[in-house]
């Protein structure tokens, strides 16, 4: 099926989002006073397009590579990141005040999607209680770390660039009684001084070329490196990892998302 039927709709969605003005993902924004469900309702229309199984990868590229669509996609992706960050932050703050923090965590808007994502990624590396798992870009609600720790018993370390975001996630972990999950402030370079068995890069870790270049400098050839990206029409939600970003790595396995999960999960290893 032709992807061109969506061009007008994508521009219409971008116009609707532009009416909210400028925003800052983790900083102060005029959107912070707007009901988040208003924006989610608009982005849900994007997800309908993103999840169209009849649009193959080659057809999707006509939208993703088109200069005319570039402005609309940049705006949609910016709002997609904002909504994700805001939902994580709001859930994290609710956990701190909750009488039942685990139940509050389970109520997170994207919780079910994380279940499918972790099931996929558990096929890419051997997660168990004897392994240390490092996740670059753990965010305010470190759900990936929580799930891998609970399900597989592995030691988990999150790396987060912003001190305020890292501190909030530490408070969440403490409230959940997960003191064995560590959060470190810094960028990908901090892995140089860590002992770990599995490394994962979040879909929103930026800039991709720098992140993977530094990982290449510090990782060995045996360590599985996993990353999350967006493929096919789901790439309208966020810019995908490109082949040039992972120069020096061999792509071993790529698992496409199922259901409403948006991330494709990829296993790579360093080559020399």
CATH number of the domain bearing residue 10: 3.40.50.150
pLDDT tens series, the chain, 272 aa: 556 788 899 999 999 999 987 766 555 566 888 899 999 999 999 999 999 988 888 888 888 888 888 889 999 999 999 999 999 999 999 999 999 999 999 999 999 999 999 999 999 999 999 999 999 999 999 999 999 999 999 999 999 999 999 999 999 999 999 988 999 999 999 999 999 999 999 999 999 999 999 999 999 999 999 999 999 999 999 999 999 999 999 999 999 998 889 999 999 999 98
248 lies in the same domain as 116: yes
The residue out of 55, 71, 104 marking a domain boundary is 104
Token match 């990892």: residue?
Answer: 241
- The pLDDT score that the predictor gives to residue 29 is 62
82 lies in the same domain as 140: no
Q: Establish how many alpha carbons lie within 13 A of residue 39's alpha carbon, considering only the half-sphere containing its beta carbon.
A: 26
Distance CA 165, CA 109 (A): 19
Token match 């139940």: residue?
Answer: 103
- Strands in 132-136's sheet, in edge-to-edge order, are 181-185, 155-160, 132-136, 198-201, 225-229, 264-270, 249-255
The residue out of 86, 104, 122 marking a domain boundary is 104
The 3-state DSSP class for residue 136 equals: strand
- Peptide bond connecting 97 to the previous residue in cis, omega within 30 degrees of 0: no
143 lies in the same domain as 247: yes
CA 54 to chain centre: 24
- The pLDDT score that the predictor gives to residue 43 is 94
CA 77 to chain centre: 12
142 lies in the same domain as 256: yes
The residue out of 40, 73, 104 marking a domain boundary is 104
As a residue count, the chain comes to 272
Sign of CA dihedral 135, 140, 144, 150: positive
265 lies in the same domain as 175: yes
Q: Residues 155, 100: contact at Cβ < 8 Å?
A: no
Where in the sequence is the domain holding 17, given as residue range(s)? 3-104
The 3-state DSSP class for residue 87 equals: helix
Instruction: Tell me how many degrees the CA angle 79-82-88 measures, rounded to the nearest 5.
Output: 140
134 lies in the same domain as 26: no
Q: Which of 20, 7, 114 is CA-nearest to residue 69?
A: 7
Residue 160 zone, left/alpha/beta (φ > 0; ψ -120 to 50; rest): beta
Burial of 15 (0-12, 13-18, 19+ CB in 10 A): exposed
Residue 162 phi/psi, 5-degree rounding, is -95, 125
Q: Evaluate if pTM is beyond 0.85.
A: yes
195 lies in the same domain as 69: no
- The pLDDT score that the predictor gives to residue 65 is 87
């Amino acid at each position: 099926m032709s992807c061109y039927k969506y061009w007008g709709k994508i521009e219409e969605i971008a116009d609707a989002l532009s009416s909210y003005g400028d925003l800052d993902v983790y900083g102060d924004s005029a959107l912070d006073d707007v009901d988040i469900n208003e924006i989610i309702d608009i982005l849900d229309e994007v997800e309908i397009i993103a999840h169209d199984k009849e649009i193959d990868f080659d057809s999707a590229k006509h939208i993703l590579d088109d200069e005319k669509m570039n402005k609309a996609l940049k705006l949609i992706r910016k709002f997609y990141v904002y909504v994700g960050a805001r939902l994580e932050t709001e859930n994290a703050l609710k956990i701190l005040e909750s009488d039942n923090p685990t139940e509050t965590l389970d109520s997170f808007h994207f919780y079910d999607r994380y279940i499918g994502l972790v099931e996929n990624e558990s096929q890419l590396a051997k997660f168990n209680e004897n392994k240390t798992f490092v996740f670059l870009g753990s965010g305010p609600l470190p759900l990936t770390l929580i799930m891998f720790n609970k399900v597989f018993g592995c030691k988990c370390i999150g790396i987060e660039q912003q001190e305020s975001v890292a501190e909030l996630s530490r408070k969440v972990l403490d409230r959940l009684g997960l003191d064995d999950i560590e959060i470190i402030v810094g960028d990908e370079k901090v892995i140089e001084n860590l002992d770990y068995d599995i490394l994962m890069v979040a879909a929103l870790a930026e800039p991709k070329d720098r992140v993977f270049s530094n990982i290449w400098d510090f990782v060995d050839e045996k360590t599985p490196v996993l990353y999350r990206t967006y493929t096919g029409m789901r790439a309208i939600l966020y810019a995908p990892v490109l082949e040039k970003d992972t120069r020096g790595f061999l792509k071993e396995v790529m698992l496409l998302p199922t259901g409403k999960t948006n991330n494709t999960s990829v296993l790579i290893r360093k080559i020399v």
